[in-house]
Every structure is written in C-alpha cells, then in structure tokens.
Amino acid sequence: MDLNKFFKAKNIAIVGVSKDPNKIGYNIFRNLVEGNFQGNLFLVNPNAYQILNKKVYKSLNDINEEIELAVIAVPNKLVPSILKNCGKKKIQNVVIISSGFSESGNEKLENEVKSLLEKFKINCIGVNALGVYDAYSRLDTLFLPRYRLKRPKQGGIAFVSQSGAIGTAILDLITTQNYGISKFISYGNATNVDESDILEYLGEDKETKVICLYLQGLRDGQKFIKVAKKVGRNKPIVVLKGGITQETSKIVYSHTASLAGSYEVYSAAFKQCNMIQADSLQEMFNIARALEKTIPNKGERIQIITNGGGYGILSIDAIIKNNLKVAELDKKNIASLKKQLHNLVTLNNLIDLSSNATSNDYKIAIENCLNDNNVDVILLNILYQNPLIDSSILDIITEFNNLKKKPILVVSTGGEFTDNLRKSLEENNVVTFTYPEEAVRSIKALTDYYSKK
C-alpha cells in the first residue's frame, strides 16, 4: 500500500472547512497556512464562498486540478456521500477526521464507509483520526491550534499512535524539549489503513530512523507480526502497549473498536519481532532518542565517568538492575589515568573525577575509554553546577561523539544553566538524559536490539 501521498501530497482538499474558528475544518486550514505548507489547498463547503480570503468550492467535483489527498471533517452521516465524490474525482487518499462510527457503537455507518473505500480503491487514514503531521513537507491535518499544540522540527523519529490524545500530548512535549520527528500518524479506527500498513511504509521511509508505536489493539495480528519482523530487521521499533490489564482490555475494545488481547500474547509477539517494549510514554521517548542518535552497539560493558560520586553509584545500580555490565578498564589504562588525573577519587569500576573535575579531565578520561577494548559504551555524568566545568566540555564531547567509535551518552540533572548546555549537545547529535536510570534503560534497549538483529 503506497502511503506516500499522505505525507507528500502537493494538492490537498479540505472538505468541511468552515468560517467558524471553533470548527475542526477551519483549524486544519489555518494550521496548514500558519505552518507554511508549500502545496496547494482547496477548500470545500457547499455553504461558503470564501474563508480567510481563499475561494471555497461547493463540491470536490468543482475542482479542476488533480487532488492527491482529501481531508474530510464533516458530520459522520455525510461521510459516505463525500466518499462517493472522491470516487468520481478519482482521489486515492483520504484522512477522515470525523468521529461517530464503531468507536461509539455505530458499526453500520463504519461498514458503509469501509465498503465505499474498497469500491473506489481509496486508502483512508481514520475514521475518527487526527491524521498526520510531516515535519519535512509540513503537511499537517491536525486540527489542534498551533498556539496550544506546537509542531516539532525535523528529526528521525516517527510517532504512530492509535490514540489521538497520547499522540498530540507527546508531540507537544517533544517540541518544547527541542527534539525533532520525521512523521506523526494518529490513525484512529483503522478502517482500512492499519498499524501494519503504516509500519511497512515507515520501514522504507528514508526520513525515519526509529519508529515509536503506541498500540491499544490490533486488527490483524498475523499481518502485524509479518510486517513488524521485516521492518524490525532494518529499523528499531519501540512499542508501548496500552490496555495491558484485564480492566483495560475491555475498554480498549470499545475505545477504538479494535481487538484487544492478553498482554502476554502481545508481549511474546513483540519479542518475536525484536521490538523494544517500553513501560511508559517517557521511556518510549527516551529509548527512541537514544536509538536515533547513538551508533549501533551490541556490547554491554559500560564505563561511567562522573564528577559526582553519588551519580556514579546510582548509574551502576541501574546497570546491574538492567542486566548490563560495568566495564573493567585495562590495567595499563588504569595506571595511565591515575598518572594523568590528579583529582581522581576512586577507580572501583568508576571514573570519579571528583567535584574538582575540569573539562580537560573529562577529555583525558573519555579518550582513554575510547581506546580501551574493555569498554563498549561510555556514560558521562556531568554536573554543570560545578564552576570548573567550562563550556569547552561541549566541544570535547561533540568531537568524540562525531568519531562514532563508541556510543557516548550524557546525564545531567539541573536547571536553566544545565538545560542550555544539554540543548547545545542535543543540537550536535549527542544524546542526553536528566537521570542516570533513563540513560541506562536506553543503553539496554540499544544493546538488546542490535544483539538480536
């Protein structure tokens, strides 16, 4: 199934656009304009002439140009007639925002929609969907106003969410934290395009390096496993399953009209496809960031370099809890470090540079670890509160990271000053975390994925 036009269409019709700023259609149009979408927009509404200085067509069939994608935001009962118009106009891709189908008990109307989609060979994201956002083409069908829901910059993570609410909330959070994404898809009831179709498309998408999937249920388990296995061989897929308890699986069933099932069954399927299972939205996002930015790695021996002993201890606790290993430095390397680093507190598998550490001490320590064959991954704890750490640390880490020799991850907890340094590192493709546990969990996902690949 070719989903490319859902993200790269140049000629888009918005059906059900309205003059009322509280209406969904108005907001979709406005967001596309404000977001500097570079294609052509065609507005359709039988009861309007002009909206925001733009001509309004009475019907899709009044448009002369070819329409690659129609975004439909009309009352549920009008959807079938709009689809018939799409059929006549030979529109092959539609996003149906309208709700009021199987998710609220109206199976009959959804079946009617499904039949029409099949009849006219239309690919549909929806019904009951938010649709898509593409950070590269700026194609954006989300009706939430941009002042409330910011849109993220370009990056390599694709977010696919059955739930619109979860998708938008995470999208918003990502933007504020200055991270980027490739594509966002909230597919609602999956009336004909489902999670497997989207996964397959993203597997081939060059803008997407890592796929995040929030899943409540599946339409077709066998299809999903087949696709996820194939895609998982090329790209990491991080999955968060909602509705993992008996109490929630019955709600899942009604919520987006998909099949629920016991979590054990899902979990086994995810493992089989080498998908990474996250326990929370936060974890999903952290793991995805690490997978996007660090180099492939199977090794599980982690060397910690810190200027705060307590942070080193929490990091090692996390390493052991995650069944990873604390690296044991080569003896020659230990001797060399002891000579070069006069502040070194202890070397019990921990390079603790002490609170007197300078940026240059980090440089010496990182360089030694990059050259030590007993080290697979370098985990830096840096407390920028200490004035001896100057901004040269940013260049030091960035340069070592650019060598792409071993994964380097940075943990720094703090306020505004820390946050600015963190953002600088992120802009230079260094992956950073607030807490040691988050970084170590992400390393675990990294080594698990690549050692099973």
Q: Which helix (H) or strand (E) holds 276?
A: strand 276-277
CB nearer a second copy, residue 218 or residue 244? 244
- How far, in Å, CA of 264 to CA of 356, rounded? 50
Cβ–Cβ under 8 Å, residues 296 and 450: yes
Tokens 């044991």 belong to: 328
CB of 20 to a second copy, least distance (A): 12
CB nearer a second copy, residue 91 or residue 344? 344
CA-to-CA separations, 44 to 13, 29, 52, 62, in angstroms, rounded: 7, 11, 13, 9
- How far, in Å, CA of 127 to CA of 194, rounded? 11
CB of 389 to a second copy, least distance (A): 9
Which residue in 409, 361, 439, 324 sits closest to 352, CA to CA?
Answer: 361
CB of 354 to a second copy, least distance (A): 8
CB of 447 to a second copy, least distance (A): 18
CB of 248 to a second copy, least distance (A): 5
Which residue in 183, 198, 232, 188 sits closest to 3, CA to CA?
Answer: 198
- How far, in Å, CA of 18 to CA of 28, rounded? 10
CB nearer a second copy, residue 312 or residue 407? 312
CB nearer a second copy, residue 234 or residue 254? 254
Q: Which helix (H) or strand (E) holds 409?
A: strand 408-411
Q: Angle CA(181)–CA(184)–CA(188) in degrees, nearest 5? A: 160
CB of 59 to a second copy, least distance (A): 27
CB nearer a second copy, residue 68 or residue 438? 438
- How far, in Å, CA of 249 to CA of 69, rounded? 34
SS3 readout for 294-355: CCCCCCCEEEEEECCHHHHHHHHHHHHHCCCEECCCCHHHHHHHHHHCCCCCCCCCCEECCC
CB nearer a second copy, residue 81 or residue 323? 323
Q: Which helix (H) or strand (E) holds 159?
A: strand 157-161
CA-based end-to-end distance of the chain: 26
CB of 356 to a second copy, least distance (A): 9
Token output for 134:
């593409």
CB of 347 to a second copy, least distance (A): 10
CB nearer a second copy, residue 281 or residue 396? 281
CB of 55 to a second copy, least distance (A): 26
Cβ–Cβ under 8 Å, residues 314 and 436: yes
CB nearer a second copy, residue 388 or residue 394? 388
CB nearer a second copy, residue 206 or residue 342? 342
CB nearer a second copy, residue 108 or residue 321? 321
| DSSP β-bridge partners for residue 381 | 306, 411
CB of 23 to a second copy, least distance (A): 10
